[in-house]
Structure 1
């Protein structure tokens, strides 16, 4: 058995951490000596890819063969990247990022990595979590657990600083996703109270607004649209990102762009940037207010505000939170590294509780093994039922949003027709009563031994496991017949498909 690690699989950057010989979590740099690796993949002419900083630079010179922000496509059955005669799905591309992290870490550690805890946004749904799990399998890694990014950050904060009896709010604004989570941290126990988020909101969207400003100025002066050409578009994106980072420390930044023999130097001020992106910040504010309401908490109940994700370095984030709460956000953790550190701690917790000698030989490892982490569901899960009187279909919630996990619910429902031959069982994800406003993530059918009367009982069981994935089945207790949930979401990979993808990806060289 090889080493277990923690992986922060980010939209723009990914990071790997491990417990050292003293049981302390630490970042493992990549082959280039960087502590974070750009989540960018450059497909070369042969059977090889380049992942990381070099690939990010190639986004300008060879944009048609470069993939960025693949995390936003996880679980998207329609996304395909075509290179040569081969098609690559989100899981394939994400697996290449994982392979890069793992092989570089193996070279530094001098041993094989076999297992990992991988983090995902708290607001990732079931299909996105499963896609992440499959990406790891394709990369040849066994996943000990999928955990939420804010929970990992809380582990890094709580265990790394010996925090006791605090209620914290984690504001996690990464490159492509946003989460906000309230949790209680007390010594060796972390309990999530409520979580909310938006998996399509992150630093990349702030970059987009800078791109729009510069492009409009270029069109006005030269009549050329920089976004019509992929090379100039990618060049503009990298310069917009750099300007955004500059504006986090100084009041203005200059962006120089060229196209069609024309040139423009655009100076953007922090005030202009904040005005252009204010609506994005407001979206995070509304979600912060929502999670406080869901937790039945006010700011006076919050002891600490943790900032996670590189995008929280924007001054307006800190200013907004300070204005809302009257509290100064904490700077005790590195916003770029905390999630990977927490994931490595979670790996240590799991391996220690399994009796792993490497973990238990250190005092810190033994302390980790005693840690208890309780997370919650980020979405509600229900079943489609028919109203007995009107026959109108509605979503009957079985496991409500923010329920502690793992969770198991058993309920009994009844047939609505005489001589009914079967029951269709559709699992929904979402809070709305109207099934059309929810996501159907699986279905099955229970066929009775013989037609049954109206009001015949059927037992339904819902389980939500530690990896935050749903399992459901129904049973006719009188005959013992049962039907297990079949995940029918389009694009979901079967075990054989994952194995075949792994075989193909194993042939590729990752640099």
Structure 2
């Protein structure tokens, strides 16, 4: 059985294609979305999803989220006494989704299609693949999120030639892709984006606004910064969601036993968001330029990602294109649904007609060179693209280079990914050194060929025509473990003790109640404390009927006090 997974910044989801359709798989709480949050409880046991997210503001040193933003980096997160890499944290989320799928389907799951932002670079893609392996999954394919969204939209079912622009603004990343369908082929014409722009950045606007209001009140002591930030982060997320349907919202927190309130209107938020909205424009314009497509040639603009629910974003998209975008796909679930369709295509499900899904190389790939200017001065560290961005993959391209110095014995090719003219501003992927015969400068040439496949595997082949020698380099992630080290890392993650799935609902309810108790004062706090005593008593009874009743009552009261739980 092969499943499709949307590994998101804020929420993740898993789906499967069966009985002639794609469907999402609910988690142990019955939700289609699982918060991408990981934490440890007070005993050091693992928490994933909603039980972890509900503890983030009350236990910031034991809980983390939004780690997708750091995929491919060496950033480490400390939870309790242990450090985790971004891919290890992602692996724990993937492992939880895998367990949900196995419980739902009643059979083992070993393979998955996992989605990634179209603008993820090589290191980020390799880290995502490694996260899947750490979770015990064979990653059949990394699928770009806008392409997955297009499959969810159903463009693979269309008969006529059509062109679509997918505008995907999620919790932490922004992607724009232009797709064309013709004769059973879905071709990505262009993909651009911003891997550091999403709903979290809009939250930060509200956080800064409230912090500026209470600067004099909040003189922080050592170790308090993260605790305050997580309280503000939760309040900002709630307020931003309220502003999608209301003209104003109120951010409320309790800090050091005192209640603080900050009101924000939709107009205020629109003003604050103006710089971020401007950042949305350039990737859209670049995608149209690279795809050589006019806006009036687009059949539809498809919105995807939870952050596109914001009216300020929808208004900005409408202004960009001079028409209203399509809102027919579920912004939070479309990518997982599309991943499930791709899983069905991989499994050659008979309900799916033969569809070829092509993609593009999201970044330019090339080597660092030196070159002379008109005055004869030599400049090092110049980027020479070999495969340019938005070339359809699989792709193979070659450039020829020559020696620069007399009696040069080696040509060293350093491989980079990026768009800057200078290699220092691009991402280094590796290097290959090739021996050459000693000759006068310029006499010896080297043919350097780059090959890039559908899964993002990069091969570099260098041929020296003078000697006939050939050398090859397959780009691997030098920062990540492989082989025995990867297996050791996987077993270390497996050793983390996790409570049974059937206790998730109770743990999430208690974590939410604890958060509310800390964030309320007076009668509300006392009321929540009483409900917690009642629920803890029911848990001690081990009577499932009594526990379910007490949990339902607790959650109902919390909904009335703070609004329903958001995902």
Q: So what's the TM-score if we normalise by structure 2?
A: 0.83
Q: Which residue of 2 aligns with 1:506?
A: 494
Separation in 2, partners of 1:380, 1:311: 28
Separation in 2, partners of 1:288, 1:195: 9
Q: Which residue of 1 aligns with 2:193?
A: 197
Q: Deviations for 1:243-290, whole angstroms, at most 9, x for unmatched residues?
A: 100110111112222212322222211111111112111111222122
- Residue 85 and residue 260 in structure 1: after superposition, are their counterparts in 2 closer, same or farther (change >3 A)? closer
How far is 1:84 from its partner? 4.9
Contact 1:130 1:469 in 2 (8 A): no
3-state SS, counterpart of residue 385 of structure 1: strand
Q: Deviations for 1:165-192, whole angstroms, at most 9, x for unmatched residues?
A: 2211111000000011111134632111
Q: Which residue of 2 aligns with 1:386?
A: 370
Is 1:376 aligned with 2:360?
A: yes
- Residue 486 and residue 166 in structure 1: after superposition, are their counterparts in 2 closer, same or farther (change >3 A)? closer
Q: Which residue of 1 aligns with 2:265?
A: 269
Q: Which residue of 1 aligns with 2:114?
A: 118
Is 1:38 aligned with 2:35?
A: yes
How far is 1:443 from its partner? 0.6
Task: Return 5+ residue gaps in structure 2 as ranges.
Answer: 500-567
Separation in 1, partners of 2:311, 2:160: 29
Contact 1:29 1:36 in 2 (8 A): yes
3-state SS, counterpart of residue 344 of structure 2: helix
Is 1:56 aligned with 2:50?
A: no
**Rg larger for:** 2
Separation in 1, partners of 2:158, 2:392: 24
How far is 1:308 from its partner? 0.3
Is 1:335 aligned with 2:328?
A: no
**More deviation, 10-19/249-258:** 249-258
Contact 2:39 2:79 in 1 (8 A): no
Separation in 2, partners of 1:29, 1:452: 67
Backbone CA RMSD of aligned residues: 2.1
Separation in 2, partners of 1:163, 1:245: 38
Q: Deviations for 1:344-392, whole angstroms, at most 9, x for unmatched residues?
A: 111222221xxxxxx23xxx23x1xx10111111111111223266442
**More deviation, 108-117/231-240:** 231-240
3-state SS, counterpart of residue 454 of structure 2: coil
Task: Return 5+ residue gaps in structure 1 as ranges.
Answer: 353-358
- After superposition, residues 194-233 of structure 1 pair within 5 angstroms as 194-220=190-216, 222-224=217-219, 228-233=224-229
Is 1:468 aligned with 2:468?
A: no
Separation in 1, partners of 2:185, 2:42: 50
Separation in 2, partners of 1:457, 1:294: 31
3-state SS, counterpart of residue 292 of structure 2: coil
3-state SS, counterpart of residue 347 of structure 1: helix
Q: Which residue of 1 aligns with 2:2?
A: 4
1:246 to 242, 260, 266: 242
1:74 to 31, 49, 71: 71
Separation in 2, partners of 1:63, 1:85: 14
Q: Deviations for 1:27-72, whole angstroms, at most 9, x for unmatched residues?
A: 0011111101000001235563111011000101211011111101
3-state SS, counterpart of residue 140 of structure 1: coil
3-state SS, counterpart of residue 249 of structure 2: strand
Separation in 1, partners of 2:475, 2:299: 41
Q: Which residue of 1 aligns with 2:171?
A: 175
Q: Deviations for 1:130-180, whole angstroms, at most 9, x for unmatched residues?
A: 000101011110111111100111111134764632211111000000011
How far is 1:324 from its partner? 2.0
Q: Deviations for 1:444-463, whole angstroms, at most 9, x for unmatched residues?
A: 21124x54554223221201
1:320 to 298, 303, 316: 316
Contact 2:457 2:475 in 1 (8 A): no
- Residue 159 and residue 303 in structure 1: after superposition, are their counterparts in 2 closer, same or farther (change >3 A)? closer
1:495 to 474, 483, 487: 483
Is 1:103 aligned with 2:99?
A: yes
- Residue 111 and residue 472 in structure 1: after superposition, are their counterparts in 2 closer, same or farther (change >3 A)? same
Separation in 2, partners of 1:44, 1:262: 26
2:85 to 74, 85, 89: 89
2:408 to 405, 410, 420: 420
Contact 1:99 1:510 in 2 (8 A): no
Separation in 2, partners of 1:493, 1:445: 24
2:256 to 260, 282, 291: 260
Q: Deviations for 1:188-237, whole angstroms, at most 9, x for unmatched residues?
A: 321111111111100001111111112222335x3556994422321221
Separation in 2, partners of 1:9, 1:223: 36
- Residue 44 and residue 259 in structure 1: after superposition, are their counterparts in 2 closer, same or farther (change >3 A)? closer
Separation in 2, partners of 1:271, 1:187: 46
Q: Which residue of 2 aligns with 1:436?
A: 424
Contact 2:156 2:186 in 1 (8 A): no
- Residue 51 and residue 18 in structure 1: after superposition, are their counterparts in 2 closer, same or farther (change >3 A)? same
Contact 2:134 2:486 in 1 (8 A): yes
Q: Which residue of 2 aligns with 1:356?
A: none
- After superposition, residues 120-159 of structure 1 pair within 5 angstroms as 120-159=116-155
1:13 to 8, 11, 14: 11
Q: Deviations for 1:387-419, whole angstroms, at most 9, x for unmatched residues?
A: 266442322110011100110113332222332
Contact 1:127 1:492 in 2 (8 A): no
Separation in 2, partners of 1:161, 1:36: 26
Contact 1:440 1:489 in 2 (8 A): no
2:472 to 473, 484, 487: 484
**More deviation, 191-200/44-53:** 44-53
The number of residue pairs the alignment matches comes to: 493
**More deviation, 33-42/46-55:** 46-55
Separation in 1, partners of 2:379, 2:250: 59
Separation in 1, partners of 2:368, 2:284: 30
